[in-house]
Amino acid sequence: MTAKDYQAAAQKAIPPSKSYKNIPMAFLVGGLLCVLGQAVINLALSFGLEKDMASACGSISLILLSAVLTGLNVYDNIAKHAGAGTLVPITGFANSMVSPAMEFKSEGYILGLGAKMFSIAGPVLVYGISASVIYGLILVIMG
């Protein structure tokens, strides 16, 4: 068997992901998180907060919830079933910061926790901010 034939055989041997389960779960959990965020926003609005401030309250609450659940070793068990449902909303970003911070604390607060907490979220920050700079420049030039 040549390497090429083998790679084809290996590809064929891979069982498919359980999309029939994963996609509805992601939709359900992701949707529930959005409902939760909206509920917090509505609550904040009912307390008389401005719309901007109320939105921030929604985001902060979800970040806090995600960070606390990560700290309690619960988040990964939910994410195992929810997949993109917990990854895509802001909860996934919070988990990607908190989990390496917890993991690498054993290497110290500076080079462990401090440096490695960006090991997963770092690229998102770099390319997210870079994209917004480019977008800003385009807006200045075109606008």
Give me the residues that bind another protein (CB under 8 A), please.
1, 3-4, 6-7, 9-10, 13-18, 22, 70-71, 73, 75-76, 78-80, 82-83, 86-87, 92, 95-96, 98-100, 102-104, 106, 120
CA distance 24 to 84: 10
At its nearest, how many Å lie between another protein and the CB of residue 130?
A: 20
Task: Name which of 45 and 102 has its Cβ closer to another protein.
Answer: 102
At its nearest, how many Å lie between another protein and the CB of residue 52?
A: 29
At its nearest, how many Å lie between another protein and the CB of residue 48?
A: 35
Range 95-109 burial, b when 16+ CB lie within 10 A, else e: bbbbbbbeebeeeee
CA distance 117 to 122: 8
- Cα–Cα–Cα angle for 44, 84, 55, rounded to 5 degrees: 15
Task: Name which of 9 and 137 has its Cβ closer to another protein.
Answer: 9
Task: Name which of 28 and 133 has its Cβ closer to another protein.
Answer: 28
Task: Name which of 74 and 133 has its Cβ closer to another protein.
Answer: 74
